[in-house]
Amino acid sequence: MKICHVVGARPNFMKAAPLIAEMGRFPDRFEQILIHTGQHYDNNLSEIFLNELELPRPHEFLNTGSGTHAEQTARILAAFEPVILKHRPDWVVVVGDVNSTLACALVCSKTGIPVAHVEAGLRSGDRTMPEEINRLLTDQIADLLFTPSDDADVNLLREGIPASKIHLVGNIMIDSLVKALPLASRRPALKELGLEAGRYVLVTLHRPSSVDDLELLQKILSALAQIAQTQTVVFPVHPRTRKAIAQLNAPALPAGLKMTEPLGYLDFLALMKSAGVVLTDSGGIQEETTYLDIPCLTLRDNTERPITLRLGTNQLVPRTAEAILRAVEEQLARPKRRAALPPFWDGRTAQRIVQVMRAV
């Protein structure tokens, strides 16, 4: 069975790597092709992840680059079609909810190639999010839908997806996390930044809704500066975010706010697992902090991972300085308690996917 895996942006690498490795255990059953669309192309967002996750070198690199959502999606559509017609796989596996996910699934639907969607069924209910549109449309196209949690199954059934296509397999990002934790524990990231475990706040911001609105970004930075008066704040800055910050007339930032270049997966994981609190607008980090039992404050109005809210490991926080400060203070003062993990968030999701794929 010839399987084509599609990756494009940083979160895709963590989701594809365990599945590629597990299929690699059955060379008599699977021939694998890796296609990198080039949606993320910066070394800190792409190359280092390929290396740290032990992914094979891509067979095809489409070099589609950045641009508006329409421009990027159109370039991926045009570049992916001749490549997939050349290889003619039995299945194309797409992961997550980025533009590459939808564009490649759409090409497959028009060329008669079956699509498997890993991390299907997640919904925020907010159709102003480009990722929500990508999720909705990819799931309508896909022939196999691998879900991370039971709420995703409910979403798909409500949208008319036949139950026969849906397979609850668990969270594949946790597979990568479990494998990487021993390596991350040996990374010198904390020592290099002068950090003490449990005594710093880790921040990530990259969504256009957070960083393209300069007035909103200014409020978030103001909150971080105030937090940094009493707590060390570590902020690996995404290229999009750095560009936006450069447009602000920001005052000098306090010494307690450590702004770094984007980090590789292992270094970031080393920081995340020892943080007191994580502030983010990311989706995957909400899941990783749940597994690590680190309090997560999500600077968004909604989340496609509501299971993390139910478990109490994650909290949505309005993007105002006052709300952010209050939420951080409350989390740091709250006694630690171990939350229960959702079913199948156990590091064996790739095994369950492969069991299904071997039977199709």
Chain length of the chain: 360
29 in helix, strand or coil?
coil
Distance CA 263, CA 298 (A): 20
Task: Report the alpha-carbon distance of residue 26 to residue 283 in Å, rounded.
Answer: 31
- Indicate if 167 belongs to the active site: no
Q: How far is CA 23 from CA 26, 28, 144, 147, 228, in A?
A: 6, 10, 17, 18, 45
Q: How far apart are CA 129 and CA 97, in angstroms?
A: 11
Burial 248-266 (b: 16+ CB within 10 A, else e): eeeeebeebbbbeebbbbb
- Residue 201, φ and ψ in degrees, nearest 5: -110, 130
Phi, psi dihedral angles at 242 (to 5 degrees)? -60, -40
Q: Of residues 5, 40, 167, 206, which has the active-site annotation? A: 206
C-beta atoms surrounding 214 within 10 Å: 13
Cβ burial, residue 341 (10 Å; 0-12/13-18/19+): middle
Dihedral sign for Cα 135, 137, 140, 144, please. negative
Known catalytic residues are 206
